[in-house]
Amino acid sequence: MRVGIVCPYSFDVPGGVQFHVRDLAESLIGRGHDVSVLAPAADDTPVPPYLVAAGRAVPVHYNGSVARLTFGPVTARRVRRWLAAGRFDVLHLHEPVTPSLGMLALWIADGPVVATFHTSITRSRSLQVAYPLVRQSLEKISLRIAVSEDARRTLVEHLGGDAVVIPNGVWVDTFADAGTDPRWTGTPQAPTVAFLGRLDEPRKGLAVLLRAVPAVLDAYPGARFLVAGSGETGEEQARELLGARAGAVEFLGSVSEQDKARLLASADVYCAPQTGGESFGIVLVEAMSAGTAVVASDLGAFARVLDDGDAGVLFRTGDSADLGATLVRVLADDALRARVSARASHVVGRYDWSAVTDQVLAVYEMAVAGRDAPVGEDPSSLRGTRLLELRRGRS
């Protein structure tokens, strides 16, 4: 099968959706399918051979984060050329209502189209603004996927229609076989707690974790908090909130995929203190796959991944005092950590890319069924892209 996948977010600064697209493409290629990915990326950004770079993106604040998107008439022409060259059996768009490549491809394409929705939010002015731009084009989508029940609910409430839930995937064996690293391995007297996330995004909850650090240090004076992720505000936050005790927090910066797996496997606990805006929680599954006990805020998406607390331990979202007490309790209870980790080892099978790819391929086959022609260009798209060019010319 010839598959075209469109990612709206830039590979210059990759995040969860980009990693999902990358892993799905490589899983499909591993099964013998012909895959091309179109995504924003600068000309000098290293990208895999199956990815076609659509140009540099611009940062836009969206859903409590900073998304790097590309849009406009030049980008539309690149989308059109990529579609014409690909002659795909199925076109798979990610976040097609985000004003980037996916939205343009939805305007331009005609044929079997599958769309995946990743976002989970209760209110969205962005979606309200975008909806009139894509309302008619949404009818082109043959089948819809949501990565979680939370993402599905956002889709139903904001855009209408429904979707089949297929979760994000993880290469479970990569994390299960990662092995530990002595730099990050704790002891009973000096346990380690890991955190991964962008440090300058408040919703990732670093401040919630930092405020919980004193309670853990009171019980375990040698405890270390290993913080991995990009952003320049973390160390300043730690000094401001912890003073002399900030030395217990070690900022590792961005880490490679290999080091991430080893970090998760080495820590006594992985902490996910996010405060909102999470539709799934891929790093929870990665930590569970590595055999590490997870402590997470009780967001709906996290609770579902953690099997309602059987495969991890939940605390009240945003409550640093509860987080501190929960971390102390989990670090002190070897049997509890072993129990939730054992349950997690069973749960993660449903998120392995082998299972997820099977489900995605089943959707592709349903979308393609009965359609003799490959993905082509919608003749009406010329009108829309000409209007886009005219608007750009006036600005």
Average pLDDT score, the chain:
89
What SS3 string covers 271-292? EECCCCCCCCCHHHHHHHHCCC
Tell me what pLDDT residue 349 has: 96
Q: Percent of the chain beyond pLDDT 70? A: 89
Lowest mean pLDDT of 69-78, 137-146, 323-332, name the range.
69-78
Residue 155: phi, psi to the nearest 5? -60, -50
Buried b (16+ CB within 10 A) or exposed e, 219-242: ebeebbbbbbbebeebeebbeebb
> How far apart (Å, rounded) are the C-alpha atoms in residues 37 and 2?
11
Condensed to tens digits (0 to 9), the pLDDT of residues 82-141 reads 999 999 999 999 999 888 889 899 989 999 999 999 987 755 555 555 556 666 778 899
pLDDT at 161 over 70: yes
Alpha-carbon distance of 58 to 376, in angstroms, equals: 28
Residue 169 pLDDT exceeds 70: yes
Query: What DSSP designation does 8 have?
Result: -
Q: How confident is the model at residue 382 (pLDDT cuts 50, 70, 90)?
A: low
Predicted pLDDT at 128? 54
212: burial class by Cβ within 10 Å (0-12, 13-18, 19+)? buried
How is the chain split into domains, by residue range?
Answer: 2-169+352-394, 172-350
Q: Which CATH number fits domain 172-350: 3.40.50.2000, 2.60.40.10, 3.20.10.10, 3.30.70.141?
A: 3.40.50.2000
> Which of 206-210, 287-291, 353-357, 374-378 has the least mean pLDDT?
374-378
87: left (phi over 0), alpha (psi -120 to 50) or beta: left
246 vs 240: CA distance, rounded Å: 9
Q: What is the pLDDT of residue 279?
A: 85
Specify the pLDDT at position 119.
85
**CA separation for the pair 199, 237 (Å, rounded):** 10
**154: DSSP letter:** H
Is 50 exceeded by the pLDDT of residue 191? yes
Q: Assign 395 a pLDDT band (cuts: 50, 70, 90).
A: very low
The superfamily (CATH) of domain 2-169+352-394 is Glycogen Phosphorylase B; (3.40.50.2000)
- Lowest mean per-residue pLDDT among 6-10, 135-139, 205-209, 264-268: 135-139
Q: What is the pLDDT of residue 282?
A: 93
pLDDT in tens, 350-369: 999 999 999 999 999 999 99
Q: How many CB atoms lie within 10 A of CB 190?
A: 14
